[in-house]
Structure 1
C-alpha cells in the first residue's frame, strides 16, 4: 500500500495487470488508457479508479509535456480493515464490469491532493506516520463522492469463470503470460489450455501470435498505420520479433506491406 507521485516525460506505451484497485489523479498533463474495448483519456484535474484483476494499456499522448499523476493503491487487507472498522455491510454485486471508473470532479478530491504536499517524502511515498491516515481520508472521500464504489472496492471474490472466446478476442493485444489469462478467466492453467484448445483448435501461444499478426496486417494494409507504431500495441516485445513473425506468416515484412499500400 503506497501513494505515488511521479513526473515523467516517457511516451512509450505500457501495459499493466492491475492486482489491486488503483486511484489516480492527474495533476499535470494527460494520459490515455485502453482496456481492451475502448480508450479513455484523463486530463489535468480528472481522477478515476482502475479496478483490480483487469488488463490496461496506457500511453502519454504528448511525450514532451510534463506528466504528473498521484496514485494510491488499495490492497485487499487495507480495504477489509477499513470495512470492519467502519462496520460497512457487504455490498451488492457491482453494477458495472468496466475496467476504468471515471469519478466525478469534486473540490474534495482537489483539496485532498493539495493536502498531500506536507507529507511527501520523495516522489514515491508519503511519510509513513501519515500514510494510513491519508489512505483512510481518501477512501472516505471516494465513498462520499461515489457511493456505488463500495460494490467494487469491497468485492473480494476471485475472478469468476467467464466466456473464454469473448475474453480472448477482447484481450489478445495484451502481452501477459498464459497463466495470467487463465487466472483472469477463472480457470486453472490446465483447464484454460483445455478449454482454449476446444474453442480455437490450437494452442494459446500460437493463436495469440496469429491473431496479433492478422490484426497488424489489417491495420497496416487498410488503415495505413505505421509498423513501428504497432508492435507494442499488439503485444510484441520488440520490433524485430514482430517483423520476423510477420514475414514468416505473410511472406512480406510489415515495412514492405506499408510501402506497397502507399504506392497503390
Structure 2
C-alpha cells in the first residue's frame, strides 16, 4: 500500500494514495472539509451513499459513522486536501458571533459544495505550503481555517447548525441506532460512545434488548444484508463484503458458508 500524508499543521493535511483502494470505517472526531484533487471516494452511511470525484468539495460532520472507500482514478492517485475543523477552534470562532439556535429540521449530514470557486481557491492556496521545509506558522494556519469557516457560512445559511453544535452524544434508543448502523465495522466501544453508553453499559443493554451478544448479532445482520445484495441486486461477493462490514473476502466467505451452507458466489 502506497499511502502518504503531509501535514502543514495537525489540522491541515495532504493525503496521497496510489494503491487499488483504501477502505476504513470510522467516526470522525472533528468536522472534515475535503477537497479532491484526483481520484474517487465512496462514502457509505446508514441511509445514504455518496460518490465524490476530482474537484469535489464536501464537509463530513463529526460523530457520524461512515464507511470510506478511496480509489485512484484514470491513472492518477487518490489525492485530497483535508482540513479539520476542531471543536476548540469552532468554539473560539463562535464565541465572537454567538452560538446559533438549534434547528431540528437541519440534518447533520454530509454537505457537498461541488466545485465552489471560493472554497476551491481557499483550499488550493494551501498546496504550496506542503513543500515548505520549515514549519508552517500557526497564525497563518488559523487564518486559513477561519477563512474556510467564513466561506462555508456565506454559501450555506444552515451550516451553523452543524458547525455550532458542540453537544456530545447522549443516551439514545439502542435498537433504533443498531438497526440503522450495524453494517459499520466499528469497535464496540465506539458503538457505545455513539449511543451514550460506556462499553459495559452497552453490552448489558444490548443483551437485554436483543437476547444475544453484540458480535453474534452483528455478524448475523451483516450476513443477512449480504444475502440481500447478492440475491436481489445481483452483486458480486467482492463488491459486497466491504459494504456490509467485513474486513476481507475470505472471512466473509467463510462466515457466509457457515451461516447458509453454501458459498456466496453460488447465490446468483
TM-score, length of structure 2 as denominator length: 0.85
Count of aligned residue pairs for this structure pair = 254
Q: CA RMSD in A?
A: 2.3
Partner of 1:38: 48
Q: What is the CA–CA distance in structure 1 between the aligned matches of 2:220 and 2:236, rounded to whole Å?
A: 19
Q: 1:76 aligned to 2:58?
A: no
Whole-Å separation in 2 of the counterparts to 1:55 and 1:158: 14
User: Structure 1 or 2: larger strand share?
Assistant: 2
Aligned residue among 3, 7, 15 for 2:16: 7
Task: Report if aligned partners of 1:35, 1:100 keep a CA contact under 8 Å in 2.
Answer: no
| Residue in 2 that maps onto 1:186 | 196
Q: Counterpart of 2:101? A: 92
User: TM-score, normalised to structure 1's length?
Assistant: 0.86
Instruction: Work out which of the residue numbers 211, 215, 220 in structure 1 matches 2:225.
Output: 215
Could you list the per-position Cα deviations for residues 56-109 of structure 1 after superposition, in whole angstroms to 9, with x for gaps in the alignment?
11224664542322110111112122223xx12111124433431223653211
> Which 5+ residue runs of structure 1 have no aligned equivalent?
none
Greater helix percent: which structure? 1
User: Alpha-carbon deviation of 1:182?
Assistant: 1.0
Alignment counterpart, residue 49 of structure 1, candidates 36, 51, 59:
59
The equivalent of 1:132 in structure 2 is 142
Listed as ranges, the matches of 1:1-264 within 5 Å are 1-10=10-19, 11-60=21-70, 63-66=73-76, 67-84=78-95, 87-94=96-103, 95-103=105-113, 105-121=115-131, 127-129=136-138, 130-255=140-265, 257-258=266-267, 261=268
| Partner Cα distance (1:5, 1:40) in 2 | 21
Contact preservation (8 Å) 1:22, 1:51: yes
